[in-house]
């Protein structure tokens, strides 16, 4: 783990087995960070999908999706993207606020396994200010306003659908793509990048609090370090946040500075 401090972000910035099996094949720059369910055994079999994919939590998550405009991001599109197997995915495509500089990056975001894309708008706001990039916030099937029911194969289809959308979009197909995944989204991101890494347009992968296997979906920080060790990328960076827990690492001091450092030093350099 490097101990040198990251470069300062722009002055305008303000703070506000699937994974384990494929991560070892990655050859792209990677940034990783580390950071109760008590149920009656009789419910595990019948409710396992709801336990693994708690898409109805918090209450209203399937119907109430905050808009980017509620967080000051006014240049965006509220999309409905069809998948090859007949589902329709909700998504926000958010453009950078600085119109004087053409964006060089597009960040494809996969969120954790509860809530919806609207709940991650504050993260998109900071990333957009930090990197002056396009952002695609893609909603999984069965989450938010997307149709369908989530499962592992379906989420893989959803991720590929989002990436294919960016590849055909004129304003993004010439940009470098960064894939960013939190928790469950990290597993989705790893699978997507492993499948598409030789295409040439994915420039980096950012993971936060991702698990080693579906049996250990609520991970300890050791899972992230095991993923880091498995990864064979020539360039990979490990950052720890000792005071961060599984759901609040993103709020820890230095989190976005390290993302900025990774992008500037390893992706755009």
Cα 7 from chain centroid?
Answer: 23
What crossing angle do the helices spanning 255-262 and 121-131 adopt, rounded to 10°? Answer: 40
Nearest to 133 by CA among 235, 236, 256: 256
> Is residue 12 domain-resident?
no
Of residues 213 and 187, the one with the higher pLDDT is: 187
> Is residue 106 domain-resident?
yes
Q: What is the total count of domains within the chain? A: 1
Does 222 score more than 80 pLDDT? no
Degrees (nearest 5) of the Cα angle 267, 201, 123?
60
Q: What is the pLDDT of residues 150-182, one digit of tens each?
A: 999 999 999 999 999 999 999 999 999 999 999
> Is residue 221 domain-resident?
yes
Does 185 score more than 60 pLDDT? yes
Of residues 259 and 15, the one with the higher pLDDT is: 259
> Is residue 151 domain-resident?
yes
> Is residue 5 domain-resident?
no
Structural domain span for residue 53: 18-131+141-267
Domain containing residue 92: CATH number: 3.40.50.1820
Q: What is the pLDDT of residue 28?
A: 57
Least confident window among 2-11, 72-81, 233-242: 2-11
Q: Grade residue 245 by pLDDT with cuts at 50, 70 and 90.
A: low
SS3 122: helix
Q: Grade residue 48 by pLDDT with cuts at 50, 70 and 90.
A: low
Does 248 score more than 90 pLDDT? no
In whole angstroms, what is the distance from residue 8 CA to residue 93 CA? 27
Contact between 115 and 140 (Cβ < 8 Å): no
In whole angstroms, what is the distance from residue 264 CA to residue 269 CA? 6
Does 54 score more than 90 pLDDT? no
Average pLDDT over residues 210-223: 59
Contact between 15 and 262 (Cβ < 8 Å): no
> Is residue 9 domain-resident?
no
Does 195 score more than 70 pLDDT? yes
pTM of the model: 0.72
In whole angstroms, what is the distance from residue 131 CA to residue 258 CA? 12
Contact between 189 and 159 (Cβ < 8 Å): yes
> What is the overall mean pLDDT for the chain?
81
Q: What is the pLDDT of residues 105-163, one digit of tens each?
A: 999 999 998 899 999 999 999 999 999 999 999 999 999 999 999 999 999 999 999 99
Least confident window among 5-19, 56-70, 109-123, 136-150: 5-19
> Is residue 2 domain-resident?
no
Q: Grade residue 227 by pLDDT with cuts at 50, 70 and 90.
A: confident
> Is residue 146 domain-resident?
yes
- Residue 90: Cβ-neighbour burial (10 angstroms; 0-12, 13-18, 19+): buried
Q: What is the pLDDT of residue 23?
A: 45
């Amino acid at each position: 783990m490097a101990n040198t401090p990251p470069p300062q972000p722009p002055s305008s910035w303000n703070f506000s087995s699937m994974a384990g099996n494929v991560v070892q094949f990655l050859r792209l720059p990677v940034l990783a960070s580390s950071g109760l369910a008590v149920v009656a055994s009789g419910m595990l079999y019948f409710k396992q999908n709801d336990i693994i994919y708690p898409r109805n939590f918090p209450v209203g998550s399937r119907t109430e999706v905050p808009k980017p405009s509620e967080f000051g991001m006014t240049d965006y599109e509220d999309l409905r993207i069809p998948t090859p197997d007949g589902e329709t995915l909700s998504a926000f495509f958010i453009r950078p606020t600085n119109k004087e500089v053409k964006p060089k990056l597009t960040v494809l975001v996969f969120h954790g396994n509860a809530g919806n894309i609207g709940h991650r708008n504050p993260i998109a706001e900071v990333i957009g200010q930090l990197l002056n990039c396009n952002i695609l916030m893609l909603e999984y099937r069965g989450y938010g306003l997307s149709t369908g029911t989530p499962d592992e194969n379906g989420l893989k289809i959803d991720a590929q659908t989002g990436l294919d959308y960016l590849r055909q979009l004129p304003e993004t197909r010439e940009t470098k793509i960064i894939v960013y995944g939190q928790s469950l989204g990290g597993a989705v991101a790893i699978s997507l990048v492993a499948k598409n890494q030789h295409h040439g347009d994915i420039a980096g992968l950012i993971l936060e609090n991702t698990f080693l296997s579906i049996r250990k979906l609520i991970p300890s920080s050791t899972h992230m370090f095991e993923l880091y060790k498995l990864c064979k990328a020539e360039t990979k960076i490990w950052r720890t946040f000792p005071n961060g827990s599984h759901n609040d690492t993103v709020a820890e001091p230095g989190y976005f500075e390290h993302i900025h450092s990774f992008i500037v030093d390893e992706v755009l350099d």
